[in-house]
Amino acid sequence: MTPFSACAWAATAELRAAIDGLPFLAGLADGTLDRSVFRHYLEQDALYLGGYARALALLAARAPDSTAAAFWASSAHGCQAVEAQLHADLLGSELLGAAPPDGEPSPTCLGYVSYLVATAATAPYAVGAAAVLPCFWIYADVGRRLARTAAAVPGHPYRRWIDAYADDGFQQATGTARDLVDAAAQRWPGDVPEMHRAFATATRYELQFWRAAAVRERWSCPV
């Protein structure tokens, strides 16, 4: 029987092709992405990671066994201790200038975070796990492919960010997340249709998040 994750990945092929074709990622790959666009992306992603960590922590609390609970809890900690620190370092680097004060999440960022936290908190555990998986898997997939292009660019300005997601540790964590989601699908087969919807919705948000970064999306009527 084909695992849930493989079916969900195949079902979102069109969305992922749209992600792969984004000019934002092409510029990130060859280092030509405008620095102000990359800064806006990092600012929004730093805000997103705080919400994503909350969603992972909720999954840890609802996990069906200690192995799953430990992984989701460790991943929640990693968002804050590793990825968030990477963003803070880059935002305060010579490349991008001094780190700004805490900003406001864009409409897309707020929508994605709200969706993940609500799903992790109120939907069945298996559905919440399916919802958080695209962030792992798409970044691992994109990071690995961007790294091949970036390696040929001397002095690539965004190499540190790319390497973080191409890293073997992150790739292995993504494999573990897939295994846990597949196990949940086997344990609760009645939740599989909703799991597919959650996986597809999160994949749409991944696409929209990068689109929003490219145009430096902000609220039209700021408070």
Half-sphere exposure of 207 toward its Cβ, with a 13 Å CA cutoff? Answer: 16
Q: Does position 100 have pLDDT exceeding 60, yes or no?
A: no
Please tell me the predicted confidence (pLDDT) of residue 80.
75
Residue 44 lies in a domain: yes
Residues 6+ apart with CB under 8 A from 94: none
The answer to whether position 159 is within a domain reads yes
- The predicted pLDDT at position 79 comes to 83
User: Alpha-carbon distance 146 to 25, whole Å?
Assistant: 8
Q: How far apart are CA 209 and CA 101, in angstroms?
A: 21
- Looking at the domain assignment, is residue 177 inside a domain? yes
d(CA 127, CA 135): 14
Domain count for the chain: 1
Is residue 221 assigned to a domain?
no
Q: What is the mean pLDDT of residues 205-221?
A: 94
pLDDT score recorded for residue 94: 63
175 neighbors 104 (Cβ within 8 angstroms): no
Residue 115, in any domain of the structure: yes
pTM exceeds 0.85 for this model: yes
Q: Is the pLDDT of residue 111 over 90?
A: yes
What pLDDT, on a 0 to 100 scale, did the predictor assign at position 160? Answer: 87
22: in domain: yes
Interval 45-87: pLDDT, tens: 989 999 999 999 999 999 999 999 999 999 999 887 766 677 6
Handedness of CA 90, 96, 101, 105 (dihedral sign): negative
> Among 56, 58, 63, 125, which Cα is nearest to 84's?
56
Give the single-character DSSP code of 223.
-
Taking the C-alpha atoms of residue 91 and residue 87, their distance in angstroms, rounded to an integer, is 6
In a domain, residue 157? The reply is yes
Percent of the chain surpassing pLDDT 90: 81
CA distance readout (Å), 85 to 28, 105, 128, 168:
20, 18, 25, 19
Domain contains 49: yes
pLDDT of res. 7: 98
Residue 98: give its domain's CATH number. Answer: 1.20.910.10
Domain extent at residue 199: 4-214
Residue 101, pLDDT above cutoff 60: no
Q: What is the pLDDT of residue 93?
A: 63
